[in-house]
Amino acid sequence: MTTRGHCLCCQTRWEYEGEVNWACYCHCDDCRRNCAAPVVAWLGVPLKNFRWLGLAPKTLESSKGVFRHFCRECGSPLGFEAAHYPGGMHLYAASLEKPEDFEPTFHVNFESKLPWLHMDDELPKYKGTLLNAPSDLREY
């Protein structure tokens, strides 16, 4: 199965083969500020199954070992790689061709959730970041 996504102007596109490793909401300040959003929805895929299409993204090393990918034309954030998540590509769920098909399964960095954001779901909520899998996180 091939899944695709793109930026606002559609010049930078991506695709991956296979299944998603995980799907979540992140409430950390870095993710929120990168997207100017109160929460960010992510999906994680193996880097070996992923590729960029069209115009190559611009990449910013936002902190040591953390790389944020975005469209060099319209500025849409598209992906994230980090040395502490080797072999993985994190993709913004809103950049999916069909974002309505996204199904998150947990929250990370829930202790950083903005107090005015109300999310009424029954998903597990974890303190801290995604390390390897939800089982590696502490429940909030």
Q: Provide the pLDDT for residue 136.
A: 47
Q: Provide the pLDDT for residue 39.
A: 98
Mean pLDDT of the chain: 91
Q: Are 45 and 79 in contact (CB under 8 A)?
A: no
Q: Provide the pLDDT for residue 120.
A: 87
Q: Nearest 5°: phi and psi at 32?
A: -60, -45
| Residue 101, domain CATH | 3.90.1590.10
Residue 112 sits in which domain range?
2-139
Count how many domains the chain has.
1
Query: Quick check: 97 pLDDT over 90?
Result: yes
What pLDDT digit, counting tens, does each position of 46-93 carry? 999 999 999 999 999 999 999 999 999 999 999 999 998 899 999 999
